[in-house]
Structure 1
Amino acid sequence: MTELRLRGHEGVTLAAHALGDPAAPPVLLLHGGGQTRHAWSGTARALADRGFYAVTLDLRGHGESDWSPDGSYRAAHFFADVEAVVATFAIPPVIVGASLGGAIGLFVAAAKNVRVRALVLVDIALRAEMEGVERIVRFMESGSGGFASLEDAADAIAAYLPHRRRPLRVDGLKKNLRLRDGRWYWHWDPAMLQSLKIGDLRASGAFVDAAKRLDVPVLLVRGEQSDVVSEEIAREFLEIVPAARYVDVGGARHMVAGDANDPFTQAVVDFVDDVVRAAG
């Protein structure tokens, strides 16, 4: 695994991990809001093992990447960051994006001036069930004051994800938390919740317009038990992008890769492999 530091929009430094041969066809993986590049560990490893160059990126304001210097997290900033990263690849990458990362990936893939080979959308479509979105926001806001211990953070995650088994060891949470003044805080800028405008794009119809402009292979992956992307919403997307492939991952909710990593990863790796082989 190689640590990368990439230049984003207006000088923001973005942290990334890379696995595989840099000369191989690239796959850029973009996590969801409040997550980090570590959410893709299993999938990135499987892609590298299949012969791809897997790059997992911390979005601005997340993980080890810089926070926005002015505290603003407008959609255009995220898009410009990812466009800058895409431009560093000699070969157009496949973009795999979950939730926020998928929204970014959709707009980048639809841009006329950006070269992308294919797009995988993970539990993100043209709109979202607001009850599921509000549940995510409540969880993100609940940790704004930090946690006294890693055990407390693990308890908060277990309450948010009751369908998952609570880990016996909590040391792994250090990848997603920062210790500051004796308390553990999530690895993202709290200002993001106040200024993030991705939801406004959905409401404005810009998602539909971008989806109609897609001219690359697309895979939509939904968690079968997702409370963010319903079956109805997935079907609406497929009506707009009829050539897209669709996978419903059993046993998974909104955080598909974390809930059912093996079937999720298999679907993604097979799709990427098909797309690359078809392109010769």
Structure 2
Amino acid sequence: MNELSLVGADGNRLAASVAGNIDQPTILLAHGGGQTRHAWGNTMKSLSARGYRAVALDLRGHGDSDWSEHGRYELDAFAADLIAVARRLGRPPAVVGASLGGLAALVAEGEKAPGTFSSLTLVDVTPRMEMAGINRVVGFMTAHAQNGFESIDEAADVIAAYLPNRQRRRNLNGLAKNLRLGPDGRYRWHWDPRFITNVQPPEQERRFDRLENAARRIGCPVHLIRGGMSDLVSEEVTKAFLELVPHASYSNVVDAGHMVVGDQNDLFSEAVLGFLETHYSPK
């Protein structure tokens, strides 16, 4: 796996990991809010083994990518970065976006620059979602954004409490990639805390409407992957999305919550590949 430095819409540096060869069809992977490109590690291996070039991006303010100088973490900024990266990668890539990454890709393709992507896979995210689930995610991210953790073990305990369906990590090496050690000796998430302050639940209804309008205009192949136990994308929400985007494909990954990629990676990766091999076959 190689490392790649890309440039976002504001001239901001974006870190990426790459698996596969440049002459293979490119799959751009955009993680969820508060995550890093390392969330896609196993999926990248599966994609490259089946003849694809996987490019996993650290979104602005996350992981090893630059923090926004002016705190620009609105959805438009993330979408603009994806457009800039897609153009840098050559022919329109297929994009797989989890949560925030999916919403940014939806805005990019359905509103800002149609034709940016050859296909769009949304991972447990739709234009309109359950507010209880949204509030739970935002609450988790906000709780330790400023003060952080005394140790990586403490962070693992907090995650285990947040994700009771997933076994607590024994090997914490992967978790360490999502944390940074501050000069005060405390560990904090590997993202700019200003990112979470831009989440404005009172404005969510207007945001839902905007995202629905973007979804209606999507012309490329679309794939929704839902976690069967998701508290954001319920069965009712899924039905509404499939009515909104009638040409969309749909996969339900049972025994997975909102964090589908980490909960059931093998099943998730096979769902991604099944869709891609129908619409975007490797050489």
TM-score (norm 2): 0.94
Residues 197 and 59 of structure 1, relative CA distance in 2, 3 Å threshold = farther
- Which amino acid in structure 1 is aligned with residue 159 of structure 2? I
Give the fraction of aligned pairs with identical amino acids, expressed as a percent: 47
Q: Is the Cα contact below 8 Å between 1:75 and 1:198 reproduced in 2?
A: no
Residues 65 and 126 of structure 1, relative CA distance in 2, 3 Å threshold = same
User: Is structure 2 residue 218 aligned with structure 1 residue 237?
Assistant: no
Q: Is the Cα contact below 8 Å between 2:37 and 2:56 reproduced in 1?
A: yes
Please name the residue that 2:125 is paired with.
124
Q: Distance in 2 between matches of 1:91 and 1:50?
A: 19
- Which amino acid in structure 2 is aligned with residue 115 of structure 1? T
Please name the residue that 1:26 is paired with.
26
Q: Is the Cα contact below 8 Å between 2:83 and 2:116 reproduced in 1?
A: no
Residues 236 and 121 of structure 1, relative CA distance in 2, 3 Å threshold = same
Q: Distance in 2 between matches of 1:261 and 1:106?
A: 23
* Larger mean Cα displacement after TM superposition, 38-47 or 163-172: 163-172
Q: Is the Cα contact below 8 Å between 2:83 and 2:113 reproduced in 1?
A: no
Tell me the alpha carbon deviations over residues 258-277 of structure 1, each in whole angstroms, 9 at most, x when there is no partner: 11111110010111111113
Q: Is the Cα contact below 8 Å between 1:36 and 1:59 reproduced in 2?
A: yes
Residues 197 and 78 of structure 1, relative CA distance in 2, 3 Å threshold = farther
Please name the residue that 2:10 is paired with.
10
User: Is structure 2 residue 177 aligned with structure 1 residue 193?
Assistant: no
Matches within 5 A, 1:210-221: 210-221=214-225
| Count of matched residue pairs | 279
User: Is structure 2 residue 248 aligned with structure 1 residue 248?
Assistant: no
Matches within 5 A, 1:241-280: 241-277=245-281
Q: Distance in 2 between matches of 1:222 and 1:30?
A: 16
Tell me the alpha carbon deviations over residues 48-99 of structure 1, each in whole angstroms, 9 at most, x when there is no partner: 1110110000000100001110123122211111110000122210000011
Q: Is the Cα contact below 8 Å between 2:128 and 2:212 reproduced in 1?
A: no
Across the aligned residues of Structure 1 and Structure 2, the Cα RMSD in angstroms comes to 1.7
Shift of 1:114: 4.1
Please name the residue that 1:167 is paired with.
169
Please name the residue that 1:177 is paired with.
179
User: Is structure 2 residue 134 aligned with structure 1 residue 133?
Assistant: yes
Q: Distance in 2 between matches of 1:85 and 1:198?
A: 29
Residues 69 and 276 of structure 1, relative CA distance in 2, 3 Å threshold = same
User: Is structure 2 residue 228 aligned with structure 1 residue 228?
Assistant: no
Q: Secondary structure at the match of 2:97?
A: strand
Q: Distance in 1 between matches of 2:116 and 2:172?
A: 40
